[in-house]
Amino acid sequence: MAKRAMPGKPAWVGDFTSFLMRGNVVDLAVAVVIGAAFTKIVNSLVGDLINPIIGLITGGVDFSNHFVTLTGKVEPTLEAAKKAGAVTLNYGVFVNALVNFVIVGFAIFWLVRTVQKLHAKPAPAPAAPTATEALLAEIRDLLKEQHGRSAG
């Protein structure tokens, strides 16, 4: 029985593997996963903590149920209007999304600020003089030395 030769790996497989293993692709994948988890936390923060406080301040107003019926039967809740097939302008849902955005932006601001403080880079050392600068400094020093001898 003759052995069949296994076909070689296509060239693009190596390219694709190196692309996936680049640091920024892996970092982006991690960021997406963390972002998804962070979104759940923020949604809970807004829906379960902030909106009830805003509702308490505004007299029990639930923003997610604020809408205007453009066409169709006017219903008491957004869910009922959607079931009835009404076309609605859901400005309350937009307000919730806006609050979500502000909270996410604020949280990311503090996260990035904290990380930057933790990883503060030391001040860069002054650059060594170039060969031309070193030569000019040497000439300057020699001229000072000669001037000092001739004045004395």
Instruction: For residue 71, tell me if it sits in a domain.
Output: yes
Instruction: For residue 141, tell me if it sits in a domain.
Output: no
Instruction: For residue 144, tell me if it sits in a domain.
Output: no
> Residue 9: its pLDDT value, please?
82
> Residue 151: its pLDDT value, please?
63
Give me the DSSP letters along 101-145.
HHHHHHHHHHHHHHHHHHTPPPPPPPPPPPHHHHHHHHHHHHHHH
Best CA proximity match to 91, nearest among 83, 99, 21: 99
Q: What domain count does the chain have?
A: 1
Helix (H/G/I), strand (E/B), else coil: 70: strand
> Residue 4: its pLDDT value, please?
65
Instruction: For residue 142, tell me if it sits in a domain.
Output: no
Instruction: For residue 149, tell me if it sits in a domain.
Output: no
> Residue 139: its pLDDT value, please?
93
Instruction: For residue 93, tell me if it sits in a domain.
Output: yes
> Residue 148: its pLDDT value, please?
77
> Residue 60: its pLDDT value, please?
72
Instruction: For residue 37, give the CATH number of its domain.
Output: 1.10.1200.120
Instruction: For residue 31, tell me if it sits in a domain.
Output: yes
Range of the domain at 42: 20-122
Render each residue's pLDDT in the chain as its tens digit; 152 residues: 556 666 778 889 888 888 777 778 778 888 899 888 888 887 787 778 877 887 788 787 667 788 999 988 889 888 899 999 999 999 988 988 888 788 778 877 887 888 888 887 777 888 888 999 999 999 999 999 888 776 65
